[in-house]
Amino acid sequence: MQEHEQMRDLVAAALTAARERGRDVADVPLTAIAAAAGVSRSTLLRRLGGSRAALDEAVRRAGVDPGGRRPVRERAIEAAAQLVAERGLGAVTLDAVAERAACSLPSLHTVFDGRDGLLGAVYELYGPLLDLETLAADPPEHLEDTVRALCRAMITAFDREPRVLPAIFADLFSRPDGPAARAMRAYLPRLFDSLARLLMPHVEAGRMRRLPLPVLVQLLLGPIVTHILLRPVLDPVRGVDLPPVNEVCELFAEAYLRAVARPE
């Protein structure tokens, strides 16, 4: 009983020291853990049986990943993205992600606040959002260059491995109130903010037709998304000759400009 209480106190001290330093337990020196526990390093080692492995295992039993590897967040997002690409969104349970990422279930709840939070993090990393935010931070000067850059960013996002976006759109089309839609509600305002910063200055300057932003976005992304989603189906069909993706990007950019650009 006394040994159990001592280990519990050591786990609490280790978690406190890790939290104060913003690091995993495995990255906190034993001297710091000993100081948090109010004992000497030699006393700490004696209680641990000469190795910190017992402490790491006790921390793990308490529902926290002790670390010593890539952060749980990174491993979990990567594992979830692989599951989405391989099996679809239905396969992405927290249990399945925890198993593939080699982390505990409580640590996923702590880091992501549930499944929707995890899926939102996957969309952010593997979708077009970060590319569009980077583009919006330093936008091209000319409308033609902006449109081409937007087309390239979308095609790049669809082609990014693991291929998450096709599975996301499949879920969106089949279940408008499903997990993809729920997780994207926090994602869409940032997406539209970036697109507004890229397109609306050209509207205000009279270079584009004054259409609502959602319509401008749909005119741009609709053909690209449709083509990318159908391309794997059409590629093997005899007699269907699809141009390379880079040519498709140029064709859609030109078509968009003809639809929305105003004469100089």
The domain that contains 136 carries what CATH number? 1.10.357.10
* CB-facing half-sphere around the CA of 9: CA atoms within 13 A: 14
Together in a domain, 17 and 103: no
What lies within 8 Å, CB to CB, of 96 at 6+ separation is 83
105 & 198 share domain: no
Evaluate whether residue 132 is within a structural domain.
Answer: yes
Q: What angle do CA 229, 224, 157 make, to 5 degrees?
A: 75
pLDDT recorded at residue 68: 62
In a domain, 220, yes or no: yes
CB within 8 Å of 259: residues ≥ 6 apart = 219
**What local confidence, expressed as pLDDT, does residue 104 receive?**
80
Q: Report which DSSP code applies to 89.
A: G
Q: Is 15 helix (H, G, I), strand (E, B) or coil?
A: helix
One domain, residues 133 and 213: yes
Same domain, 79 and 172: no
Helix segments in 66-164, DSSP class H: 72-87, 94-101, 105-112, 115-126, 129-137, 143-159
Pair (49, 141) in one structural domain:
no
Query: CA–CA separation, 147 vs 217, rounded Å?
Result: 11
| Residue 252, domain member (yes or no) | yes
Q: Are residues 42 and 152 in the same domain?
A: no
Dist CA 141 CA 15 (whole Å): 50
The DSSP symbol for 48 reads: T
Query: Are 253 and 157 contained in the same domain?
Result: yes
For residue 148, give Cα distances in angstroms to 14, 60, 95, 143, 256.
52, 49, 41, 9, 10
Residue with tokens 């100089």: 264
Q: Are 108 and 139 in the same domain?
A: no
Give the Cα separation of 119 and 217 in Å (integer).
23
- Judgement on whether residues 109 and 187 belong to the same structural domain of the protein: no
The confidence score (pLDDT) of residue 24 equals 79
Angle at 204 between CA 199 and CA 206, to 5 degrees: 100
Do residues 134 and 255 both lie within one domain?
yes
In a domain, 255, yes or no: yes
Q: Residue 69: what pLDDT?
A: 67
Residue 120, in any domain of the structure: no
| 261: three-class secondary structure by DSSP | strand
Q: Are residues 151 and 48 in the same domain?
A: no
pLDDT of 169: 84
Q: Is residue 242 part of a domain?
A: yes
Q: Does any domain span residue 204?
A: yes
Q: What is the pLDDT along the chain (264 residues), one digit of tens a residue?
A: 567 788 888 888 888 888 888 777 887 888 889 898 898 888 888 888 877 888 888 888 887 777 766 778 888 999 999 999 999 888 899 999 999 987 888 888 888 888 888 988 998 899 999 999 999 999 999 999 999 999 999 999 988 889 998 888 888 888 888 878 887 777 889 999 999 999 999 999 999 999 999 999 999 999 999 999 898 888 888 888 888 988 999 999 999 999 999 976
**Please, which residues bridge with residue 62 across strands?**
none
CB 104 within 8 A of CB 126: no
pLDDT at 171: 83
Does 184 map to a domain?
yes
Parent domain of 219: 127-260
CATH number at residue 102: 1.10.10.60
Q: How many domains does the chain have?
A: 3
Q: Check whether residue 54 and residue 80 sit in a common domain.
A: no
Rounded CA-CA distance 67/26 in Å is 5
